[in-house]
A and B are shown apart, each in its own frame.
Chain A
Amino acid sequence: MPEPDVRGAGGVADGSATIAFRGGGFQPQPRRLVPFIVFVLVIGLWQAASWRGWLPDLFMPSPWQIVGAFGDMLHSGTLTRHVGASLSRIALGWLFGTTAGLAVGLAMGIFSVARAGGLPVVSALFPIPKIALLPLFILWFGIGEPSKVATIGFGVFFPTVIAAYTACDSVPRNLIRMGQSFGLPAHAIVWKIVVPGAMPGILAGFRITASIALILVVAAEMIGAEYGIGAFILSAGNLMQTDQLLAGVTLLSLLGLAVSTVLGAVERIVLRWR
């Protein structure tokens, strides 16, 4: 009897069976249309419910009314004024907090003394919700801009410190040993190995501190401000102008999206090597 030639395995003898496929799945695939459809569906249902009178205008205005409120704000120029006030507070506070936080955090990442001295202070102050300090800052700096900027800066500072020094810890030890073995001076090891190696962790920290800054600016503006998105939302609420209130909330959502888009772009550029 001739041996079957299994090399091509073309014609298969009787009693054969194909092997049932049981792999695949469990891996998100891109679905380009689905997000768009869901978004339109949610807004559409909301709008339909408002038209039907299922949602009382006063408590839940329709999307269309919110768009209208936006239009009014845009025309009267209040939109730019409020957004501008909030943005400048966020930018200043975030910049101060980040600069100081990176300086302290990198020092704690690099020098044992700074680590030992800084850790208890950071651990004690980090858990305080920073908005609780606003009254104190108002006493120190007055009700104007500095107290708000200080609150945001303070809120941004501690997470930045923690992100920076843990990011330093995550730089592989063997890269530092490599630098030493080539006789790199200590400052070169810091600037050429530790800091770039800590960049992913530091940038991840930026995402957290950006959202903290957004929370704090709204809270601070609700406590005492003439302009700003937080002040605008609060006064709209007091006047029962819910369409304006929700326009302000939508604005915050857009602002957060814009910030995270910018940070995403920064990450893509700075961390191109990953």
Chain B
Amino acid sequence: MDLRLDGITHRYDGLLVLDGIDLLIRDGETVAIIGPSGCGKSTLLGIVGGLLRPSAGTVRTIGKPRADSLNPFTYVFQDFALLPWRSVAANVALALEHHPLPRAERQARIKAALGLTGLGDFADALPRQLSGGMRQRVGLARALVVRPAVLLLDEPLSALDAQTRELLMEDLLAIWARERSTRLYVTHNLDEAARLADRVVVLSRRPGRIREIVSIDVPVAERLSASALPVIAAVRDRLWALIRDEARVAEREVQHA
């Protein structure tokens, strides 16, 4: 299933946040979206996932999502959005509870998702007992358990410390390799974009417009190999050169909301 964004424009009251975003996302691709804070990245993700109505423009799917997908567009949130009163397994189960599934399949899906995210031993833990990294793994497991066609990740590692972020990037690459979904990965972290994505969409500061799309010519499966390092470093420098000036202006801007 491909995804096509046509002229996505969004205003909050009078504030123009996104201006004419056109983008074709191919099935199975990982597309990172970067841009200075406040440029409309979360807004764009909200529009793609059907949580926000765009002021203008359309998001279309081309082809059918995978047949076993219970929730084709599925989010992973920056602040994890876990229910603190539910155990890890119950948080993951939440995504399945309103779907008529045989008990055995339900259990099998939950077990598989916990396994994939390295949470096998933590099924009964409560969120407050977990580190930030483990909490985001729960967020990932909950998203994977519905077999999403499109994973919408909104700064999934931004709430984590630098070391945990490194670990989770490696784990995400491992998960990317074992699970077929299209991924839209919003971040302001150039490193994440350069290491995790096939293509990086660079947005301008608000109102967000596409400034450039940077392709990374190393398959995601080979990103951890040493030969990928110079390519990743070059991409990161390129991205920084692209957004540096705008980031500085955006930083000095007075907040509106």
Contacts and interface: CB of A to CB of B under 8 A. Distances in A.
B77 A178 contact: yes
Contacts of A185: 98
B95 interface: yes
Interface in B82-120: 83-86, 94-95, 97-98
B60 interface: no
Nearest to A193: B83
B135 to A, nearest CB: 13
A207 interface: no
A174 interface: yes
Interface string A192-205: 11001101000000
A185 B74 CA distance: 15
Q: Which of A172, A179, A181 has the most CB of B within 10 A?
A: A181
B98 A175 contact: no
Contacts of A182: 71, 74, 94-95, 142, 146
A187 to B, nearest CB: 10
Nearest to B142: A182
A181 B84 contact: no
A178 B97 contact: no
A242 B23 CA distance: 85
Interface residues of B, number: 22
A200 to B, nearest CB: 10
Contacts of A197: 83, 85
Interface in A165-184: 172, 174-175, 177-184
A172 B98 CA distance: 22
A184 B97 CA distance: 9
A110 to B, nearest CB: 17
A180 B83 contact: no
Contact of B84 (A179, A180, A274): A274
A192 B84 contact: no
Interface string B61-90: 000000000110111010101011110000
A74 interface: no
A273 interface: yes
A174 B77 contact: yes
A26 B95 CA distance: 45
B98 A188 contact: yes
Contact of B85 (A177, A178, A184, A196): A196
Contacts of B238: none
Contacts of B85: 196-197, 199, 273
Given A177-B51, A182-B95, A274 B128 contact: yes
B71 A183 contact: yes
Contacts of A180: 51
Contacts of B75: 178, 181
B124 to A, nearest CB: 12
B49 interface: yes
9 contacts: A174-B81, A183-B71, A184-B94, A184-B98, A185-B98, A188-B97, A196-B83, A273-B85, A274-B84
